[in-house]
Structure 1
Amino acid sequence: MVTYESLIHRKDRLAIVGLGYVGLPLAVAMSRHFDVVGYDLKVERIAELQTGLDKTLEVSREELAQVKVQYTSNPEDLDSCRFLIVAVPTPIDQYRIPDLNPLKSASQTVGRHLSKGSCVVYESTVYPGATEEVCIPILEKASGLLMGRDFTVGYSPERINPGDRQHRLESIVKI
């Protein structure tokens, strides 16, 4: 099973899936302590980050230059990660119904690259029960593994307010 010690000693890698206004600051913060893979579907987003630019303006050019994150749009790079944090958007439609398609797609991608002993943590904002009812079945089907026996899952909702320079990731208390 992946442990804090295996991450801190860089025996295991951590992945952030989704490099938007939640995922990128998280990847940057985590990379100060762990070996981090930052994955996003958008090739142009990866190219932007590799040049040291964050168009969301959540992370400065200086911060990006100081950290070591492997930015990638290749899902195969998730194979080496045993702790995966899913931080994709969950937009709502005009009726305020959440669109879970990005979350489902991310779960499918993570599931295809999940190995025994891994842990998946969801940061995306979802309604109560979505992790158990939607995400876990997708992970199990895509991986052929069973949650609780072969891998673990957690939910830790995002606490970032985009554009808020006072209440940054580092200053928000989170358990």
Structure 2
Amino acid sequence: MYENKEILCIMGLGYVGLPLAVEFSKHYNIIGFDINQERIAELQTNQDKTKTLSPEELIQANIKFTTDPKEIQNAQYVIIAVPTPIDSAKHPDLTYLKKASELVGRNIKENTVVIYESTVYPGVTENICLPILEKESGIKLGQFGLGYSPE
């Protein structure tokens, strides 16, 4: 699958991540990663039960859909687009974001750029996600890149 283009991994293939993966597939080789095996099986057959994208759009996108976290190691860029739901007290639940950071941290290498697309409050990227990435990867910021791009 991987031509001479750079490889980008989109983690979280919901209403933000999937359209992002399809759009980026016009310029990059894309790994579409999600922990939900049913979601990946559906997308591998060019179906999107959310009806965000048509089968034709998914076929044209040529995305490698996977639940295998080792595939993250092939990417030069990782965009994390996992949900950040709020609880009944209107506080954000960062569980998905923390788990995604752990998984990415265990599978990145030097010079990988990690970008958070999930909606979070100021300081989350630097104060919560960065320490997790550094701990899990064993490398420090500067040896990998870090960014935030709010949807």
| TM-score class normalised by the smaller sequence | over 0.9
How far, CA to CA, are the matches of 2:84 and 2:122 in structure 1?
14
Q: How does 1:28-39 map to 2 (within 5 A)?
A: 28-39=22-33
Aligned residue number for residue 24 of structure 1: 18
**1:32 Cα deviation after fit:** 1.1
> Which string of whole-angstrom CA distances, capped at 9 and with x for unpartnered residues, describes residues 139-162 of structure 1?
0000000012x001000011xxxx
Aligned residue number for residue 92 of structure 2: 98
Question: Aligned residues: percent identity?
Answer: 53
Aligned residue number for residue 63 of structure 1: 57
Aligned residue number for residue 48 of structure 1: 42
Aligned residue number for residue 145 of structure 1: 139
How far, CA to CA, are the matches of 1:107 and 1:56 in structure 2?
25
> Which string of whole-angstrom CA distances, capped at 9 and with x for unpartnered residues, describes residues 102-136 of structure 1?
00000000000110011000000000000001000
For structure 1, the residue ranges without an aligned partner over 5 or more in a row are: 1-7, 159-175
Segment drifting more, 71-80 vs 52-61: 52-61
> Which string of whole-angstrom CA distances, capped at 9 and with x for unpartnered residues, describes residues 26-74 of structure 1?
0011111110000000000000001111112211111011111000001
How far, CA to CA, are the matches of 1:59 and 1:22 in structure 2?
12
**1:9 Cα deviation after fit:** 4.2
TM-score by length of 1: 0.83
Aligned positions, number = 149
Are 2:81 and 1:87 aligned? yes
Are 2:149 and 1:156 aligned? yes
- Read off the aligned partner of 2:91 and give its amino acid letter: I
How far, CA to CA, are the matches of 1:51 and 1:81 in structure 2?
23
TM-score by length of 2: 0.96
How far, CA to CA, are the matches of 2:33 and 2:4 in structure 1?
22
How far, CA to CA, are the matches of 1:93 and 1:16 in structure 2?
25
How far, CA to CA, are the matches of 1:83 and 1:66 in structure 2?
21
- Read off the aligned partner of 1:41 and give its amino acid letter: I
- Read off the aligned partner of 1:63 and give its amino acid letter: E
- Read off the aligned partner of 1:154 and give its amino acid letter: G
Aligned residue number for residue 129 of structure 2: 135
Aligned residue number for residue 72 of structure 2: 78
Aligned residue number for residue 168 of structure 1: none
